[in-house]
Amino acid sequence: MLNDIYNNAKSHMDKTIESLRRDFGTLRSGKVSISILDNIRIDYYGTPTPLNQVGSVIAQDATTIIITPWEKPLLKDIEKAIQEANIGVNPNSDSECVKLFFPPMTQEQRKEIAKNAKSMGEKAKVAIRNIRQDSNNAIKKLEKDKNITGDEGKKALDEIQKYTDEFVKKCDDMVKHKEEEVMKV
């Protein structure tokens, strides 16, 4: 029973870290990454479809992304979706592809992105603490129902706290690394 609680807590905490990693991918750092477009959806025959599923998306260099749709009529929809996403650039289109030219970031933009990274890290830590609370409640219920002894319950709570500390440290390290990456000119 306790192993199920441990595995469940660890699995959920791993998922929280993965989610934070994906969130960080959407933040702009020194060089442009195509993951900044991950949250943009195109109306493709009535279905909201990720941008990378309606065309090829490549980072040509450190400041340019090129999107070449597989169907030419999608050019206008792609442009509109990028403008609505408000990612800090205006799409430039020729009849073949959409180009996104990202200007160099100002110090103010870097600070704002670092602040966003810190906020994302805090949300992840809150999620980890909520997982700890759910696990602790499950352990206390087992103890109350006399399925485990008081000593086993205390050991289990300590084990969950170890996981929590480990994953909170991972969050802090990821945030620190992302802030350094963003602030590096």
Across residues 135-160, what is the average pLDDT? 92
- Cβ of 155: how many Cβ atoms within 10 Å? 14
Q: How many residues does the chain have?
A: 185
Residue pair 39/85 in contact (Cβ under 8 Å)? The answer is yes
Nearest residue to 59 (alpha-carbon basis) of 86, 81, 28: 28
pLDDT in tens, 13-36: 999 999 999 888 878 777 788 888
Model pTM score: 0.74
pLDDT in tens, 98-132: 999 888 888 888 899 899 999 999 999 999 999 99
184 vs 171: which has the higher pLDDT: 171
Task: Kindly report the backbone phi and psi dihedral angles of residue 120, in degrees, each rounded to the nearest multiple of 5, phi listed first.
Answer: -60, -40
N-term to C-term CA, the chain: 51
Mean pLDDT of the chain: 90
Across residues 136-155, what is the average pLDDT? 91
Per-residue pLDDT at 103 = 83
Per-residue pLDDT at 88 = 77
Q: Which two tokens stand for residue 148?
A: 């485990």
Residue pair 55/81 in contact (Cβ under 8 Å)? The answer is no
Q: Which two tokens stand for residue 10?
A: 């660890």
- Cβ of 165: how many Cβ atoms within 10 Å? 12
SS3 content of the chain, % helix, strand, coil (to 5): 60, 15, 25
Minimum mean pLDDT among 93-97, 116-120, 172-176: which range? Answer: 93-97
State yes or no: pLDDT of 185 exceeds 70.
no
Tokens 């205006």 sit at which residue? 90
